Amino acid sequence: MRPISDDQLASHIGGLGYRGFSHLKRTRPKNPAVLLLAALNSPKRDARVVEALPWVVLTFPDMEWASLTKVAKAYDLQNRLGFITEVARSIASFRGDSLTVDKLLRCESELERSLLVREETLCNETITNAERRWLAVRRPEPAKRWHLLTDLSPENLNYYV
């Protein structure tokens, strides 16, 4: 998997239609699954890029999940992908989109079977030990379940409502 910069990711996600990056130069649309994996496969990502990832899942729930899951597992990204998928599913549920909820629940279930025990951050490995301790206590339940140190939750996303 080739590394991709935050600026490139933002531009590509904007090219998929994400309004948060609509001000950026549009690129030809890329495969959302490839962008999702590229974004998750980094020790450090811009918070705005990470916040856009549940939107990608929510907007493209018909991605080729079998391949996506297989590659995520190969790179030990299943916890990050599972968490992002759960956040997207929560938004779909809030919106009453039962078809998307059902699809994403199946994907979560597949990812959960290979849940990694190790605790990590959601693309922000440079946080301090104090931040790690704070997040360990105050992170949302889905982040605990997926062994991630993050405070990302659907309610904090501008596209939640």
Q: How confident is the model at residue 104 (pLDDT cuts 50, 70, 90)?
A: very high
- Could you tell me what percent of the chain has a pLDDT over 70? 98
pLDDT in tens, 15-70: 998 988 878 777 776 899 999 999 999 999 999 999 999 999 999 999 999 999 99
**pTM of the shown model:** 0.94
Residue found under tokens 């996506």 = 68
Residue 107: what pLDDT?
96
Is the pLDDT score of 122 beyond 80? yes
- Could you tell me what percent of the chain has a pLDDT over 90? 86
Mind giving me the DSSP string for 72-125?
HHHTT-HHHHHHHHHHHHHHHHHHT-HHHHHHHHHHHHHHHTT---S-EESSBT
Q: Three-class SS of residue 149?
A: strand
Residue 161: what pLDDT?
60
Q: Which of 149, 104, 87 is nearest to 123 (CA)?
A: 149
Residue 128: what pLDDT?
95
144 token code pair: 């605990």
Residue 38: what pLDDT?
96
| Burial (Cβ within 10 Å: 0-12, 13-18, ≥19) of residue 60 | middle
Is the pLDDT score of 1 beyond 80? no
Residues 119-129 have a mean pLDDT of: 94
Is the pLDDT score of 72 beyond 70? yes
Mind giving me the DSSP string for 23-38?
TSPP-----HHHHHHH
Q: Which of 142, 146, 159 is nearest to 113 (CA)?
A: 146
